[in-house]
């Protein structure tokens, strides 16, 4: 039963409370749990109680899900492992926290509560949450596994999980735990990887040009924003183009990209900032050319920042409907 719950939660947010919408799957399930269920499935029930407690603590009387949280807390109070529910309450708060100062406090609280037995028992669920807590699951698991056999056994167990996201993440954790390098170096690798995935966030961990492929954060933000808008516009038009051939779909996406990039100088003038000088163009290739190069789209980016950067790069893209 626990594996079934894990599998279902792997396809949705474990801790997200959409508004409007239903509460997390685990909370909805636990709202109908009995003391006997809590005794049989102690880990999911303790996690559900932690999620309900976190939501009630964050939202208070404003919560639209009060009926769900109250029901879970009333049904399971006194029937679950309280330290585990407290650990998961803080994990859920951390996963949803956007204030870096508050997140630092929650991270410290989680580290203090991460006792080997608790951590090992709920490791599969922690690995499912991992991407929402910026790799804290990996860092703490590696640190605990270095000294505690119970955590190492939990990692091995998770590597055999029938739930693919859990199994893949566990395999990565095991690779880190079995590495022969000193623990400090392994943890530094984990932290560095976490920082690298957030390199576009503020504050930026590296200064230009190291942290940006265009040697300028403002320019990269413009490029990223234009691309994001073009893709969003294309996504909105796809339902009306569903029966179209892939050439028409490709041409529509390219037209959106050209439109967004062509408009960038006007956007920057309105904002009162200095923008890039852009020249954007595209041409449609013939079927004969496509067969020759094996691609539907050839992208060439030519960047010239006098005295700072000169870059020409490109890629070939094969479009599949």
DSSP β-ladder status, 309-317 and 297-305: antiparallel
Residues 6+ apart with CB under 8 A from 317: 295, 296, 297, 298, 299
Can you give the pLDDT at residue 64? Answer: 76
Can you give the pLDDT at residue 123? Answer: 94
Q: Is-contact 129 137, C-beta < 8 A?
A: yes
Token pair 């899900």: residue: 65
What is the C-alpha radius of gyration for the chain, rounded to an integer number of angstroms? 25
Can you give the pLDDT at residue 31? Answer: 92
- pLDDT tens digits, the chain, 321 residues: what are they? 888 999 888 888 888 886 556 788 999 999 999 999 999 999 999 999 999 999 988 887 667 788 888 899 999 989 999 999 999 999 999 988 877 778 888 888 998 999 999 999 999 999 988 878 877 888 889 889 888 999 999 999 999 999 998 999 899 889 888 877 777 777 777 666 665 555 555 445 455 555 556 666 677 777 778 888 888 888 888 877 767 777 788 888 888 888 888 887 766 665 555 666 777 776 777 777 777 777 777 888 787 777 777 878 888 887 776
In the chain, domain spans: 2-197, 217-317
Q: Is-contact 316 293, C-beta < 8 A?
A: yes
Cis preceding-peptide flag for 193 (omega within 30 of 0)? no
Q: How many CB atoms lie within 10 A of CB 3?
A: 12
Can you give the pLDDT at residue 44? Answer: 94
Can you give the pLDDT at residue 200? Answer: 53
């Amino acid at each position: 039963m626990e594996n079934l719950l894990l599998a279902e939660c792997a396809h949705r947010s474990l801790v997200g409370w959409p508004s409007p919408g239903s509460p997390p799957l685990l909370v909805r399930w636990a709202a109908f749990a009995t003391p006997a269920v809590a005794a049989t499935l102690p880990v999911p029930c303790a996690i559900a109680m932690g999620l309900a407690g976190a939501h009630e603590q964050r939202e208070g009387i404003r919560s639209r899900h009060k009926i769900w949280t109250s029901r879970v807390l009333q049904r399971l109070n006194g029937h679950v492992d309280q330290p585990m529910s407290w650990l998961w309450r803080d994990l859920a708060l951390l996963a949803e926290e956007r204030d870096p100062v508050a997140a630092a406090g929650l991270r410290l609280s989680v580290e203090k509560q991460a006792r080997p037995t608790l951590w090992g028992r709920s490791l599969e669920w922690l690995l499912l949450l991992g991407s929402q807590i910026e790799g804290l699951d990996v860092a703490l698991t590696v640190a605990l596994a270095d000294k505690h056999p119970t955590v190492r056994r939990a990692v091995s167990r998770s590597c055999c999980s029938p739930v693919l996201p859990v199994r893949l993440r566990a395999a990565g954790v095991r690779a880190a735990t079995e590495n022969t390098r000193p623990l400090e170096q392994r943890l530094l690798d984990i932290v560095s990887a976490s920082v690298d995935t957030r390199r576009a966030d503020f504050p930026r961990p590296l200064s230009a040009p190291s942290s940006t492929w265009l040697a300028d954060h403002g320019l990269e933000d413009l490029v990223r924003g234009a691309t994001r808008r073009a893709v969003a516009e294309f996504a909105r038009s796809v339902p009306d183009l569903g029966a179209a051939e892939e050439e028409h779909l490709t041409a529509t996406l390219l037209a959106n990209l050209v439109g967004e990039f062509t408009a960038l100088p006007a956007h920057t003038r309105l904002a009162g900032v200095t923008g890039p000088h852009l020249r954007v163009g595209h041409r449609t290739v013939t079927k004969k050319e496509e067969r020759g190069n094996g691609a539907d789209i050839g992208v060439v980016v030519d960047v010239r920042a006098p005295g700072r950067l000169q870059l020409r790069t490109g890629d070939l893209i094969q479009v599949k409907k």
